[in-house]
């Protein structure tokens, strides 16, 4: 977003790009020898090198990134035609592609739609200061490009959604379309998602010459962008015009921005168009670092401005004054790589946030993936939690969970080392898929002085997906330890509320849930859900509710179910409570080791029941079928599987688990549970199977689509829709 200017501005590309450029330029005198060199000649050589580097830097940096992250999968360029292949996300790189709507003809298009079951972001932004996060990492479309998931358990992810209001997916392509995985998990947490439209360099100037040639062309391209956002399910655009324009083009630029805002608002409720502080109203590419008369005309016709990062201490105050009653629509930029940004970014991000907070405007964090890209010690999980802990301490927690029932989470981070379904491990393959993130818990930063350490440990067992909350340490005597994991606003009515949660623990370790309530008269109450009597500390809670345990799972998980009636109260917080199973035995006085896993939480009203249409009500079809045989009789299969309800209804389902059963003529009386093979998960009504190995004795393949409800329940396999494909004869 930033360009070099008078040696005061820094380039938007990664820090490594700037250092590479400087290194090449520093070598010029050495390359040309010690003879006298005309300064203009040096400038000409430098410009040639800069042009050359700009042409090669993206693939060069991708190579560096992939080499330094060996588990990260290789970069895949966007498809050039509609031939079937593993579904990926990719940007639109040319104006002709945007105008022609060719994206909608791609094989990959239907896979890139966001799930309609998780959109909690359709309301307007809250009337308070907000936090925008702009994700820019090595050109984008890395592990997150694999729509159906990748194989890197160490893939980058964000899980501190409780701090974020707007998420922008950024790259240097003309039209950056957010991968649906980011849209799905952001929407689940009530966060809006924007794509990026950017013009830069000579190519960007040519784009603007075409796009802004007439009022009609400006409107047409705005409508193309609005159509993409509405159809793919994200919430709008960051507009970044990084080129000098002719003054005569400004009127049509305003038409473009205004028409895009109007069209977005009419087609996507709660949508946003945000202007980046770049070109001014006189057509000059001149970053203002504040909201002022040079960029306010653009601010006035859209939903906000992302202010450049090199602002001074009093610029947030000055910008707030110019914005007046729209001061929360001013997002002061902070470059986490620290390139001339106020406070220096990196581990000093709180310095800028404190100033922004003091002046009561909004903040825009650019490239928080710095933690991941620069391999901050000791490891990504720990460094990520520590860095976002700085943000939280400075900015505060302003977001709350969407107070809608049913509520369900399995604490999945969207990456891991195994996958479970209802306590059964169905895959030991490493994986990543941000779409699979559950509601993320609000865990405090690790404090080694705490008796119990609380974390999401991806290598420990999972009840559902690949996550959990792990509690590990020791407990003194008859004490208990509690840790807040959620805050929200669930207004309760006269129906009893069912709380269901799964626990796996060792020996003397027990785990309950503490529920914090507030009444309309600000009366506070706390309820403890527990499977054991806790006489030693029962007085610490307003009410004790004994849960019913469901045991018998071979994996050792125990399901706890409790019913609470708190009519007129609002559920505001959920805490995990760790205690010993023998806390009523007064003979126990010494500390004991503690270990427990929390696998999931479901909250729903007593009358809620998931509805799963019967198998026969679905139309399941296979297409793009391709068989490949080897000389030994084995085959591989590619096939796209699609499904929809025959009556055309659209029920909201959380996701679909996809299984395979390979059948031979000898298979008689087998059970699906015994022979099913987990293939993956779909967020939309289609799934692509690629390079599936089919043994020579297989006569047919049965693809089972297991429907998953928003409350975490799943359809029985033998009642699920399926597609059966006969194996081709050799």
Question: How sure is the predictor about 147, in pLDDT bands with cuts at 50, 70 and 90?
Answer: very high
Q: Which residue has the tokens 């400075």?
A: 394
Concatenated DSSP letters of 432-449: E-GGG--PPP-PPPP-TT
> Distance of CA 563 to CAs 115, 228, 414, 537, 590, Å?
31, 44, 30, 21, 34
Residue among 555, 568, 558 nearest 519 (CA): 568
Nearest-angstrom CA–CA distance, 18 and 337 = 12
595 token code pair: 């270990």
Nearest-angstrom CA–CA distance, 310 and 4 = 12
Nearest-angstrom CA–CA distance, 257 and 698 = 58
pLDDT at 57: 41
pLDDT beyond 50 at 17: no
Nearest-angstrom CA–CA distance, 313 and 257 = 29
143 token code pair: 């592990």
3-state secondary structure 494-505: CCCEEEEEEEEE
Residue among 383, 400, 336 nearest 574 (CA): 400
pLDDT at 133: 98
Higher pLDDT, 67 or 645: 645
Q: Where do the domains of the chain lie, and which CATH numbers do they carry?
A: 95-112+126-395 (3.20.20.80), 407-605 (2.60.120.260), 615-726 (2.60.40.10)
580 token code pair: 């010993």
Strand partners, 131: 363
> Given strand 700-708, what is the order of strands in its sheet?
677-682, 655-663, 700-708, 722-726
Q: If you count them, how many residues does the chain have?
A: 730
Residue among 375, 464, 385 nearest 427 (CA): 464
Q: What is the pLDDT of residues 690-702, one digit of tens each?
A: 999 999 889 999 9
User: What mean pLDDT, rounded, does the chain reach?
Assistant: 88
β-bridge pairing 236-242 and 192-200: parallel
Q: What is the pLDDT of residues 484-540, one digit of tens each?
A: 999 988 888 888 999 999 999 998 899 999 999 999 888 999 999 999 888 888 899
Q: Which residue has the tokens 């729209």?
A: 326
Give the three-state DSSP class for 54.
helix
Residue among 240, 188, 568 nearest 407 (CA): 188
Question: How sure is the predictor about 288, in pLDDT bands with cuts at 50, 70 and 90?
Answer: very high
pLDDT at 448: 84
Higher pLDDT, 559 or 36: 559
Question: Rounded to the nearest 10 degrees, what angle do helices 250-267 and 215-232 cross at?
Answer: 30
CA 428 to chain centroid, in Å, comes to: 23
Nearest-angstrom CA–CA distance, 27 and 23 = 6
pLDDT at 43: 36
Residue among 297, 271, 98, 111 nearest 192 (CA): 271
Q: What percent of the chain has pLDDT above 90?
A: 74
The CA dihedral of 411, 713, 685, 727, to the nearest 10 degrees, is 110
């Amino acid at each position: 977003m930033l360009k070099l200017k008078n040696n005061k501005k820094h380039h938007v590309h990664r820090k490594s790009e700037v250092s590479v450029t400087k290194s090449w330029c520093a070598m010029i005198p050495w390359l040309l020898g010690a003879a006298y060199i005309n300064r203009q000649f040096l400038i000409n050589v430098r410009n040639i090198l800069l042009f050359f580097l700009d042409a090669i830097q993206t693939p060069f940096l991708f190579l560096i990134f992939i080499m330094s992250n060996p588990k990260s999968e290789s970069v895949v360029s966007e498809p050039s035609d509609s031939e079937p292949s593993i579904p990926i996300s990719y940007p639109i790189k040319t104006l002709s592609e945007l105008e022609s709507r060719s994206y909608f003809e791609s094989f990959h298009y239907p896979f890139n739609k966001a799930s309609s079951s998780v959109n909690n972001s359709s309301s307007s932004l809250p009337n308070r200061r907000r936090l925008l996060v702009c994700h820019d990492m090595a050109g984008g479309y890395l592990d997150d490009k694999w729509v159906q998931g990748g194989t890197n358990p160490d893939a980058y992810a964000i899980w501190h959604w409780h701090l974020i209001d707007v998420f922008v997916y950024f790259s240097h392509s003309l039209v950056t379309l957010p991968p649906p995985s980011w849209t799905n998990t952001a929407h689940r947490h009530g966060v809006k998602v924007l794509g990026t439209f950017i013009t830069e360099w000579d190519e960007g100037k040519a784009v603007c010459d075409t796009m802004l040639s007439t009022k009609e062309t400006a409107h047409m391209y705005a409508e193309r962008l609005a159509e993409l956002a509405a159809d793919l399910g994200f919430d709008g655009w960051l507009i970044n015009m990084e080129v000098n324009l002719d003054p005569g083009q400004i009127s049509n630029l305003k038409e473009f921005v205004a028409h895009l805002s109007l069209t977005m608002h009419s087609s996507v409720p709660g949508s946003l168009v945000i202007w980046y502080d770049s070109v001014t109203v006189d057509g000059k590419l001149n970053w203002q670092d504040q909201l002022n008369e040079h960029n306010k005309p653009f601010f006035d016709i859209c939903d906000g401005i992302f202010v450049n990062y090199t602002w001074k201490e009093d610029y947030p105050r000055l910008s707030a004054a110019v914005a007046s009653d729209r001061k929360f629509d001013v997002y002061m930029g902070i470059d986490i790589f620290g390139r001339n940004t106020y406070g220096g970014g990196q581990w000093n991000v709180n310095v800028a946030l404190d100033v922004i907070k003091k002046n009561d405007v909004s903040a825009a964090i650019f490239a928080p993936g710095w933690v991941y890209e620069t391999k901050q010690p000791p490891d990504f999980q720990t460094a990520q939690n520590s860095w976002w802990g700085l943000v939280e301490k400075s900015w505060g927690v302003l977001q709350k969970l969407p107070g809608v029932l049913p509520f369900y989470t399995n604490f999945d981070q969207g990456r891991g080392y195994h996958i479970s379904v209802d306590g059964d491990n169905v895959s030991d393959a490493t994986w990543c898929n941000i779409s699979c993130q559950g509601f993320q818990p609000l865990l405090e930063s690790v404090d080694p002085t705490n008796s119990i350490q609380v974390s999401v440990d991806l290598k420990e067992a999972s009840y559902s997906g690949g996550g959990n909350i792990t509690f590990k340490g020791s407990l003194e005597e008859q004490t208990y330890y509690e840790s807040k994991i959620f805050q929200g606003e669930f207004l309760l009515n006269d129906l009893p509320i069912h709380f269901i949660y799964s626990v796996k623990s060792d020996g003397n370790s027990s785990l309950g849930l503490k529920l914090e309530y507030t009444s309309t008269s600000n009366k506070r109450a706390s309820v403890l859900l527990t499977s054991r009597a806790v006489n030693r500390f029962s007085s610490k809670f307003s009410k004790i509710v004994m849960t019913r345990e469901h045991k018998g799972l071979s994996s050792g998980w125990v399901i706890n179910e409790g019913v609470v009636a708190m009519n007129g109260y609002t559920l505001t917080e959920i805490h995990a409570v760790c205690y010993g199973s023998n806390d009523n035995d007064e003979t126990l006085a010494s500390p004991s080791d503690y270990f427990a896993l929390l696998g999931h939480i479901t909250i729903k009203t007593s009358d809620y029941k998931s509805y799963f249409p019967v198998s026969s009500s679905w139309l399941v079809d296979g297409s793009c079928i391709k068989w490949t045989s080897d000389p030994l009789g084995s085959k591989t299969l590619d096939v796209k599987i699609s499904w929809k309800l025959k009556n055309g209804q659209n029920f909201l389902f959380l996701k679909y688990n996809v299984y395979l059963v390979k059948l031979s003529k000898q298979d008689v009386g087998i059970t699906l549970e015994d022979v099913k093979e987990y293939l993956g998960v779909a967020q939309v009504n289609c799934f692509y199977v690629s390079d599936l190995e089919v043994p020579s004795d297989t006569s047919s393949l049965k693809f089972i689509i297991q429907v998953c409800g928003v409350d975490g329940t799943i359809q029985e396999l033998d009642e699920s829709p399926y597609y059966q494909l006969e194996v081709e004869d050799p």
